[in-house]
Amino acid sequence: MAEILSALRSLMASHSPPLHALIVPSEDYHQSEYVSDRDKRREFVSGFTGSAGLALITKDEARLWTDGRYFLQAMQQLSDQWQLMRIGEDPSVDSWISDNLPREAAIGVDPWCVSVDTAQRWERAFAKNQQKLIQTSSNLVDEVWKNQPPAETNPVIVHPLEFAGRSVAEKLKDLREKLAIERARGIIITALDEVAWLYNIRGSDVSYCPVVHAFAIVTLNSAFLYVDKRKVSSKVSSSIQENGIEVREYGAVSSDVALLASNQLDKDTGLSSGRNDVCETGTCEAEENNNDLIWVDPASCCYALFSKLDAKKMLLQQSPLALAKALKNPVELDGLRNAHIRDGAAVVQYLVWLDKQMQEIYGASGYFLEGKGASKKRSETMKLTEVTASDKLEGFRATKEHFRGLSFPTISSVGPNAAVIHYSPQPETCAELDPDSIYLFDSGAQYLDGTTDITRTVHFGKPSEHEKACYTSVLKGHIALGNARFPNGTNGHALDILARIPLWRYGLDYRHGTGHGIGSYLNVHEGPHLISFRPQARNVPLQASMTVTDEPGYYADGNFGIRLENVLVIKEADTEFNFGDKGYLSFEHITWAPYQIKLIDLSLLTPEEIEWLNTYHSKCREILAPSMDKNELDWLKKATEPVSA
């Protein structure tokens, strides 16, 4: 690590102008949350492997900013050359730079790896002390990364209409109508899941996310896909071109954005597909003259492309595809429901297997009975670890129809590791399962018809009264949010409190958001909506046909962690009244797996909560029974027996 920092500082000193600091973000050229191995620059320089964070290297300091999900992990992974900066507790990176670096300091960043929003926020903060954000012409980390993995060249796949539910032609028509309404003549699409969704393509360039490294530009008359052409077979190329989309090399996006800015891009192609989609009334020329803006999403477009545009002719607002993608069509919703049934079956099969293993190997009392483990481990060959257990879970999922891999690295965590919110077990360092400790697993899969994400927390021995009280508080919050009814126009910021109130009663809380959207065979984390205490959760109201997770938790550092997570679909609510004629919304659970009765203090549940639990468990039995063998079904029946206070 010391050699990497030393090499970077040498490049910073020889840069023109010399750099007082270098910012190394987590993101790739598309501002992705999860990035390919080649793009893990922040991980390479810092050793911190979490998905979110930002590294700052100065002449004599190295600091890493990350959020509450990763405080414990970062403390464990950072060497003593690095200082951890806790987002929300310590000064932000731009404040710290403004206050701690000299006047007129030059701060370098690769403009491809930072969003417009972020770069402009930094520039405003730096201006106070005449400090400057310098766009480096190359990525300095790449220059010192001797064995940087090569760029991915995985094939582009067409996502069939039977799973996508809407054709590319329909999506392009809708998009062009939105461009016309906003007086824009073109849009630059940089988010990988938006490109994949719009053009009904998928790929495997980023682990766990079925996306392709690609940009798109859509104008009123043309559509372009910028991708490494080696990934596009002649069959796929024909399919893409049938929709009036021209395939160009990935690197050509830079020069094409410049052509777009000078209104030369459409003239540069023979394609004019889609003109009639917008201009059926014969007013096309007039519309084109009025439509002179280029639409750019400042949260996902990189600063490098933004810098090629005329600031006065730009529409800087959220991509219209973010909301269009979040509002699932009926085919996608049915696919998600079906995927979650298969996924729930895999999770139950895993729990049946795990229960048996814990009893046989460790003498645990098991999923249903309370008792201290007999610690009767037979031999090293028989031991269960966080990794071997999670591999088994993946194996159960892999037997299911349409399975295409995991949707994120499985969080399989026992005891103190379960308190590390985004813990990722490694074969060399992971813990062995323990019959006397809580076990938390947060996992999901990619199926052709939907993406899944579920968390369950279990104990195979005798949980303490405190663990039960904490689990029950988390469950109460989980139920309260899932049962909410709320008027149209309500955002996720307003609902977040529902999941926390049962925890707050005891002075407990958790440091992460409560819910995120989920893709349709796309990214497991999907905006633009979310349920969170963070201010951005106010930006987008929740709407019918969105998906969102419901995942409160509690984490006792160094001891245990608890989280429960289901995926919900937002639907119209059937209410007796309709105050203000707003229309009301509610949630439909589509995740199916039992909650462990042994971990619940039933005396803390209200009659309504007990009724909800029994109803949910009854549905689990009914929905999953056809996927179970006799042994699994017997276990499921026992796990979902009705309870009373």
Query: Degrees (nearest 5) of the Cα angle 199, 201, 204?
Result: 145
Q: Is the dihedral of CA 178, 179, 180, 184 positive or negative?
A: positive
Report d(CA 154, CA 481) in Å as an integer. 40
Report d(CA 611, CA 176) in Å as an integer. 49
Domain 330-368+382-639 in the same topology as domain 157-267+291-324: no
CATH (residue range 330-368+382-639): 3.90.230.10
Give the model confidence (pLDDT) of 513-571 as tens digits: 999 999 999 999 999 999 999 999 999 999 999 999 999 999 999 999 999 999 999 99
- What the block records as the tokens of 27 is 């993101």
pLDDT higher than threshold 60 for residue 283:
no
Give the model confidence (pLDDT) of 258-280 as tens digits: 999 999 998 665 444 444 444 44
Q: Which residues contact 449 (CB under 8 A, 6 or more apart)?
A: 163, 334, 335, 336, 338, 339, 402, 520, 521
What are the extents of the domains in the chain? Answer: 1-144, 157-267+291-324, 330-368+382-639
- With CA atoms as reference, report the closest residue to 343 among 451, 456, 202: 451
pLDDT higher than threshold 90 for residue 133:
yes
Report d(CA 461, CA 457) in Å as an integer. 13
- Quote the mean pLDDT of the chain: 94
Compute how many other C-beta atoms are within 10 angstroms of the C-beta atom of residue 181. 11
Mean of the pLDDT values across residues 315-327?
A: 97
Does the domain spanning 157-267+291-324 belong to CATH 3.40.50.2000? no
| DSSP per-residue string spanning 140-189 | HHHHH-TTPPPPP-PPPEE--HHHH-S-HHHHHHHHHHHHHHTTEEEEEE
Q: Are 441 and 390 in contact (CB under 8 A)?
A: yes
Q: Are 453 and 550 in contact (CB under 8 A)?
A: no
Report d(CA 213, CA 193) in Å as an integer. 10
Q: Which fold has domain 1-144?
A: Creatine Amidinohydrolase; Chain A, domain 1 (3.40.350)
- State the maximum Cα–Cα separation within the chain, in Å, rounded to a whole number: 82
Mean of the pLDDT values across residues 319-348?
A: 98
- What the block records as the tokens of 144 is 């010192």
The pTM (predicted TM-score) of the whole model is: 0.94
